[in-house]
Structure 1
């Protein structure tokens, strides 16, 4: 059932994005009197479709090959490679008969809709939910770094007070794109002394190895915190030792325990061993012997004493600039990430994810806020990807049209046909690669 929910959300999310993207091309084409012959979700390769119908001269349908979708615009060299139509004389209702500026608008119609959709989703979510965060001044005990954070010099209890000289306001800024993508300099307060640490240029490359846990291996989403036992798992080492709800762990093998990260570290250091627990229970101090499992767990759930959160409500109109900023941050982050790939800071195999990775992002349970947040994110990713100057993508068509506008005459149909073929081969190769890369990553997890 979990897989069904995951795949269902993936199909629904991508279908929304593809249909609205193609609708952008469709509306722009019709606005300029250009004939649209087909409007398809997914590809009807070799003429086979799962469903189709005709309405006002346009064939609408769902193809069997789930690699996106398309609108077939009359008189345009596209993925359909309909060279027979192009052999005839230009007709006034064809794409090729229209001025270059109109054709450019048609080609950018899908990207425009994706950007508008991304802004709209983040706007509505911000207006509805506001923005909830942990003020950095409420984080009294500092951070808990993961393996990658420790590797760059961070320590448990560090307080990051500035990023590139700008004071930190929100705790979640510490794992934001401006930290991970911009080779940022962190101002750290450690034992009342200030020091600076620089985030490595290739940190994304290292974090990619941890998959869903990547950010946790930089800085934990839970600040350093004290804790007590909330419940004990039946038939666990904790129950056998006599631990109960409300107990506080004061020491393990005479090593003082104040914070949860210290408790977890001691458990990992004593896997498969018997340990002496010093426990505070009401006004009593007890010593209990517990046998730690081979996985480094004892069988408890803990109650954290987390710092207080703050929620800011911006209202309907105040949420618009906030939502737009969130949308365009995704867009610029994609550009920065691609730049890191070309610079060699991130390996190609670690930078791209396909359908399996996206399905994992949607998750195996239904959370509509998360669903729409992810659709908004992917809408901006789709806009950026389509803007790339690759033949067969909207950006490639736009570049050719800009060249035509500069030269004052169109590029030859033969050149455009060959460019389309090259671009299509590149895209298919990339799709095969990312899908295979997804499968390899899933296998490596097991």
Structure 2
């Protein structure tokens, strides 16, 4: 029996596994359902694919390490996460977020796209290989964390502690997260942008002031915040005003430009500011950004309240590209706002730090991975950089292995939003990709 036939014949069994997983809430922001989810996964990994499972306690949520086919010559790491985002407003969901619902060729529920559907596809892919071919031709380490949705605050220190017992003989890591191309084609991503998030606060008074009594004579926190933001971001172009911010940016190579030219043209992009297809991908993959995520100050209710705000806050993120580091950008920001910080006019709290990663275009595994995805699904695109941010720097900088991202969810999965979903075709394709990958990773 072929891989494709076996996956199709057993698809309901695989969907049922996902349904059971989705019913586990696993909310890292609140802690709800974390322990029951860990128990569920441990039993699934042990009973379904006969893995040896270790539960690693951290200062936050546990990390799961599962091993298949130990003591083979080659070892590869497969990364995923079991935690999910909060469901948000239930009224905006057309299904119950923690009950898998099949509708119009899609599987709906929180985590179906990010990352429970992709994680179950991995596990089912190992199962299919075992059923058709027996023991894996390499040792697989499956690392599943429970804090990805809150910035993986304990992953780095845990990986450092796990390096010697579990992670010191690895050849590469495969990250099944994110979305495939807008065209519906599967992609291989060779890197990702980093992210630095921070909260910028201005306080001019302990409370709001009457605008008639104090207008023109007292500082306005909202205006002061705008002045400070103007030192960081050009409001006309949206570009960062710190010149050194772009100093380390490296232009795409000829091979990377060729890969970009093969990507589909973007469409339905809200309020576009790019020039053409190349500029679209260039901005997303090879240019850093500084983005205001939110602003808060003063009265925001109905009607009128004539006040001068006493405090104002902005949340900002920087998406970083290869050769930039969060620590260096922090220095640039602090130096730009040195006067305000020294005079305690502003407060900055850095919230998330993930450095960028990019694999060399000459890496010898790339052709094999492209061939594997093509064999499983019919086509494979290469994206030199994932525009989003994942903690892949940990694998490259701490473990010393290249991370390859192979997203298994559809582009319109609505992750982090109401009505999150994964198409049945994407789910089954993901299982096939993992099965073919197991078959093709039989040598270095």
Assess same fold via TM > 0.5: no
Compare relative contact order (CA 8 Å, sep 6+) and give the higher one, 1 or 2: 2
Task: Report the TM-score, using the length of structure 1 for normalisation.
Answer: 0.24
Higher Rg: 1
- Greater helix fraction, Structure 1 or Structure 2: 1
